[in-house]
Structure formats: structure tokens, C-alpha cells
Amino acid sequence: MMDLVTMRETPTNAVAKSHAFMLRTGLIEPESAGVFSYTALAVRSMLKIEQIVREEMNHAGGQEIRLPVLLSADPWKQTGRWDSMDVLFKLEADGTQFLLGPTHEEPITLLAKKRIRSRSQLPQRWYQITPKFRKEKRPRAGVLRVREFIMKDLYSFDADAKGMDRSYDAMVRAYWAIFTRCGLTTLFQTQADSGAIGGDASEEFIVPASSSAGECEIVHCTECGYTANIEKASCTIPPWKEEALNPMEKLHTPNAGTIAEVSAFLGVTPERLVKTLIYEAKYKGAQTEVFAILIRGNLDVNEVKLKNALGSECISVKPAMIPDIEEVTGAAVGFAGPLGIQCPILADGSVVGIQNFVSGANDTDYHFVNMNWGRDVKSPDKVVDVRSVRAGDCCPRCTNALEAYTGIEVGHVFKLGTVYAEKLKATFQLADGSHQPFWMGCYGIGIGRIMAASIELHADERGVVWPVAIAPYHCVVIPANLAKHGDEAGNIYRDLCDTTDVEVVYDDRDFSFGVKIADAELIGYPFIIVVGNKGIEVRTRMTGEVTSLLSLYEAVGMVSQGVETALYFANSNAH
């Protein structure tokens, strides 16, 4: 008996479309925050996704392995991630510390260290499709951000940077094949921040989705193709038009502490303001530093870019506490400025070249106007790019206006370089006897995220719309009235089972036709065969097309050909 339990109403806690439909179709059952059971329908889809991933990984030179999920803490202490990664599920047994693998750079580097002795054994590309555990602070949107999920992770080991680049390029090609085969036909490959994984370069694969589902913000240039996550994106600031320098003045600006208030009070646009924000950075070894970051009044700081600008020793940044701000400025919050501030200063590139600008005077209720670099205040020593890029900003490559999207990160590829191999002393021997650390890459794909992203992309108001390649079943046969049409519907079902590769469900539940058709549309079978008084009809879920008055053989032929054609087109993206 097929396990099918559906819900008519949208659960109130489900904001994202995929979350709501996965609950309503019974694909998932919540266990605890960010932890789900996957029912038979979901597992059928996930196995298909895994198989597509497996085929493409194998084709790209991958070999499937299996690392433990239960990992020793020591290697993670050696790389520093035991302390720096805040999502680790840590446990202890008999006085020994363990963690549940959130990703597997440490154990796989040690596996390579054991097995790869010489250059002649390289390259190696090893992958697994296994559960990962992350203590996500805010699990959300159903299976899009969970604490336990299945990930495909491949790790490449090469002898040099060129080899690493070749492995990376092979994975990027494989990723395009995987996502298009899975029906994720709208997809961006974007420059990304490397986050806790670290390394030299990384790109994400993003499926555009509404902001209720997608957490990634990306910008894209339709002119030159530049695409980047806003945690990484940059934009060109149009140069400041030269103007005559006016004498600087200190003006009384009572109660004007925000950009909007100062702009309104002084009658200037926010572009003329140099905003001075006070932050606190935390470095490895628990050291902290309060510093100022200067940015144009109309722009915002992206804190991930700011953290990265402070270098690899920086663990986190956050706005400084009020007493710290008051200490470095000697004034109330809202009146900070570069002249006379008692802390190191960083400047975003947007304040370079600005003339006759306005800044806080480090004196409560006072601002400077007509301040100029060099003449009134020392030009900033350290210029960084920390501004948050938005729609309409100028593309850093071609200056065309950028577009902005939200989306779901379904995959992520990283060039790791030699960082992990060096920290874990994983080396191979060259012909001259010398030892060299591995050049590594790592490449993740969330299996559940692909399933949910597909639902976000294709679902309509009636329910899920599966692409054939990852649909749990291809077709459902529904007798309009079980007593009257059961025999014929049963014959169609058996014919599809016996003579075709169509994966078919026979809905012989003793429910009304209305309920069954609503369920079929909610579940999203690509094809629905209805047997009723008017004969046989085939409904195609993706297009909404209805073909009526078919014979049994025509209906079977149409569905099996439809499935075959869809799979043929999906697989034509395979390598």
C-alpha cells in the first residue's frame, strides 16, 4: 500500500513555497527544528538526484568513497576549525572528543595523506553522498536550511595549482550538467565568499527564488555576465566631479545623528556625507580591536566583506558597543568622524576622491562641513572594498547597471590551495625526493536543496510540478469512479507497468474524484491519466495540456513517449 497522506491547508509556519508543499504532500515530516524524516515519495526523488550527481561525478573522474560521520576532534583542532566553526555538533565519549561531520576537509586530507605517497598517484577526485550535520542557528524554509542533510562532497587532490584548476573546471562543467539534468534550468554561477571553508577562490550555483525561500543575494550584469554574491560583489563608484575647495567649518547640528537627519539639516545629499561606523573585530587568540570604517553616507557596509578585508586572522566583526563608541569618539553616538578619532581607520573606496564632504566632529551635536582629504584630515591609510552592492549600482567590469536577485545556493565549489594539506602535513613525494603539500579543491551539493529548489522554481498554486528526471513517479492513473472505471484504469496501470519504463501509481483509494485529482496535482506527477465516463484523458502537469478520448494503447503510448522524450532532453545535458 502506497504511503500517501496529504494536507489541504497550508501550514501556518511554512512561508517558503517548497516548505509548504513538502509538508502538504507529505514528502517530509518534521522531527525537531531543522530535522526532518523523508517519506517514500521524497526518497524516490532524492535517489534520482543522487544518481544524476553520481553519474556526473564518475564521469568527471570522481571515485565514490565513504568517510565516517563521527569524526575525531584532533584534526579539527589542528586546522583551527574546532574553535572557529560555530555550527559544529560536538560530543564526547570516554573522555575523547568527537564531532559530527559538517563537511569533510580534515578527514579526507588525512585519508589522502595515508594513501597518496607519490606524484604518480595524482590527481585523485574522491566523493561521497552522505549526511552532514550543522548546528544552524536559524533552521528555516523546510529542508532548505536544516541541521541534518545529505550532501555530495567531492575533494580533489592535485600536484600543483594548474592541476587544481583543471579539477575545478571539470567540477564546474559537471555541476552545470547536474543542475540542468535535474531541471534547474534557471541558474547563476556566481563569485562567492569562501566562508568557513577558506581557500583561494569559490563560486556558488544559485537558483533564483523568492526571498521567503532564497537567502542568497546576488547581483548580475546582463551586459557582460558578471555575477557575484553580495558577500563578494563589488561595484564601480562614478568618479567625484572636481569642485573648488571651500573652507572647512564646524557646525552645530543639534540632534542630527543619522545620515537622513544630517542630510536634511544641512540640505546636502547623503552622497556628500562620510559616514563613520565603529566596529569591533575579534581575532584568533581572542584578541579584539575597535576600529572605524568610513563609507559614503548613501552606502552600507557588508559585514562579510568587512571581515574578509581584515584578513584571515579575523574571526568576526560586529558593530561596537555604545561605551566603546563613546570612548573612541569622545561624543555621543551619531557624531563620529575621521578627524581626531582615537582608533584605527579603514576607508571604503567610495570615500576616496570625495571633496567638500560632511563628517561627524567627534563632538556631540557637531559636524564638519567642507572637509577635504589631505588639507583638513589625513587621507585614509587603508582603503578597502566593503560596500554593499545593490540593484542599479555600476558593474565593476563594464559599468552597466547591475540587477539584483535572491536565490538558493544549491552548490558551491572552492579552490582550497594547500591550506589544509599544510596544516595537516599531508604531502606527496616528487621525483627528486622532496615533499610537496597537495593542491586541493572541494565541491558540495545539497541533495535536499536541489529537491526544494526545484519545487520553488516549478510549483504553481495547485502544488508541486516535478521535472520528469527527478519526479518520485512519472504518472498516476485515476478512475473517476472506482466501481465503474476501476477495471479499465487497472488495465492501463498494469499495461504501463508491464510494457513500459513509466513509474506509475494507481490511485484506487476510495475517495471522490475531486480529492484524487487535487492530490495528483498537489503531488505533481508529470502525467495524470483519468479514466471516466467520457473515456480516457491524459493531463500533462507542467504545461496543463489535456488530451481526451484516447484508447488504452494511445494513453499508454502517449505517457511512455512523454516520459522518454523528457528524459532524453534532460540527459542530453549529460556529459
**Looking at beta carbons only, is 357 or 414 nearer to Mg ion?**
414
User: Residue 411, interface with ligand ATP (CB under 6 A)?
Assistant: yes
Of residues 60-79, those binding Mg ion (CB under 5 A): none
CA angle 570, 470, 524 (to 5 degrees): 115
CB of 307 to Mg ion, least distance (A): 16
Closest approach, Cβ 302 to ligand ATP, in A, equals 15
The answer to whether 149 contacts ligand ATP (rule: CB under 6 A) is: yes
User: To the nearest whole angstrom, how small is the minimum distance from the Cβ of residue 489 to Mg ion?
Assistant: 46
Q: What's the full length of the chain, in residues?
A: 575
Site pattern 67..106 for ligand ATP (x: CB under 6 A): ------------------------------------x---
3-state SS class at 101 = coil
Q: Are 281 and 314 in contact (CB under 8 A)?
A: yes
| Minimum gap (Å) between residue 144 Cβ and ligand ATP | 6
410's contact among Mg ion, ligand ATP, none, with CB below 5 to 8 A by partner kind, is ligand ATP
Return the number of the residue (195 or 344) whose C-beta is nearest ligand ATP: 195
**Is 136 or 300 the residue whose CB approaches ligand ATP more closely?**
136
Choices 219-227, 403-411, 521-529, 534-542; region in contact with ligand ATP by CB under 6 A? 403-411
Q: Pick the closest to residue 35 from 151, 145, 152, 153 (CA basis).
A: 145
Cβ-closest position to Mg ion: 412
* HSE-up (13 A, CA, CB side) for residue 453: 29
Whether the bond into 123 is cis, omega within 30 of 0: yes
Quickly list DSSP for 302-349: -HHHHHHHT-TTEEEEEEPPHHHHHHHHSS-TT---STT-SS-EEEEG
Nearest approach, Cβ of residue 466 and ligand ATP (Å): 19
Position among 41, 49, 88, 146 found at the interface with ligand ATP (CB under 6 A): 146
| C-beta closer to ligand ATP: residue 87 or 339 | 87
In the complex, minimum distance from the CB of residue 431 to ligand ATP, in angstroms, rounded to a whole number: 36
- Residue 145 interacts, among ligand ATP, Mg ion, none and using kind-specific CB cut-offs from 5 to 8 Å, with ligand ATP
Scanning residues 452 to 481, which ones bind ligand ATP (CB under 6 A)? none
In the complex, what is the shortest distance from the CB of residue 60 to ligand ATP, in angstroms, rounded to a whole number?
17
* Closest CB 559 distance from ligand ATP, rounded Å: 32
- Asked if 17 and 24 count as a contact pair (C-beta separation under 8 A), the reply is no
Strand partners, 1: none
d(C-alpha 525, C-alpha 370), whole Å: 67
Count other C-beta atoms under 10 Å from residue 96's C-beta. Answer: 10
Partners of residue 208 on adjacent β-strands: 407
Q: Which is nearer to ligand ATP, 442 or 570 (CB)?
A: 442
| Residue 395 binds which entry of Mg ion, ligand ATP, none, CB below 5-8 Å type-dependent | none
Size of site (CB under 6 A) for ligand ATP: 18
Instruction: From the list Mg ion, ligand ATP, none, pick the one residue 146 interacts with, judged by a Cβ distance below 5 to 8 Å according to partner type.
Output: ligand ATP
As beta bridge partners, residue 194 has: none
The Cα diameter of the chain in Å comes to 94
Q: Which residues, other chains included, contact 253 with Cβ-Cβ below 8 Å and sequence gap of 6+?
A: 262, 265, 266, 365, 366, 367
Alpha-carbon gap, residue 505 to 512, rounded angstroms: 17
CB 200 → ligand ATP: shortest distance, Å?
A: 15
CA distance 410 to 144: 9
Residue 407 in contact with ligand ATP, rule: CB under 6 A:
no
For residues 119 and 140, which CB has a smaller minimum distance to Mg ion in the complex? Answer: 140
Give the nearest distance from C-beta 229 to ligand ATP in angstroms: 9
Contact between 446 and ligand ATP by CB under 6 A: the answer reads yes
Q: Within 305-324, which residues bind ligand ATP (CB under 6 A)? A: none
Nearer to ligand ATP, 81 or 539 (CB): 81
Integer-rounded Cα Rg, in Å, for the chain is 29
Closer to ligand ATP by CB, 118 or 186: give it: 186
C-alpha closest to that of 446 among 45, 149, 37, 42: 149
Nearest partner of 279 among 195, 364, 336, judged by Cα:
336
Residues of the chain by 3-state class (helix, strand, coil), percent to 5: 30, 30, 40
Site for Mg ion in 377-416 (CB under 5 A): 412
* Residue written as grid cell 570516554: 94
In the complex, the smallest distance separating the C-beta of residue 450 from ligand ATP, rounded to whole angstroms, is 7
CB of 30 to ligand ATP, least distance (A): 14
For ligand ATP, the binding residue among 58, 130, 136, 557 (CB under 6 A) is 136
Following DSSP, what letter does each residue of 437-473 receive, concatenated? EPEEEEEEEEHHHHHHHHHHHH-BTTB----GGG-S-
Closest to Mg ion by CB, 412 vs 449, is 412
Nearest alpha-carbon partner for 276 in 362, 349, 371, 385: 362
Q: Which stretch binds ligand ATP (CB under 6 A): 59-67, 341-349, 445-453, 465-473?
A: 445-453
Select 139 or 257, whichever has its Cβ closest to ligand ATP.
Answer: 139
Type of residue numbered 150: I
How many angstroms from the chain centroid is the CA of residue 503? 32
Residue 409 lies near ligand ATP (rule: CB under 6 A): yes
| Cα(146)–Cα(547) distance, integer angstroms | 41
Region near ligand ATP per CB under 6 A, out of 105-113, 146-154, 371-379, 565-573: 146-154
Among 198, 444, 479, 562, binds ligand ATP (CB under 6 A): 444
Quick one: 51 exposed, middle or buried, by C-beta within 10 A (0-12, 13-18, 19+)?
Answer: middle
Q: From the CB of 127, what's the least distance to Mg ion, in Å?
A: 16
Residues that bind ligand ATP (CB under 6 A): 103, 134, 136, 145-146, 149, 151, 195, 197, 409-412, 444-446, 448-449
Residues that bind Mg ion (CB under 5 A): 412
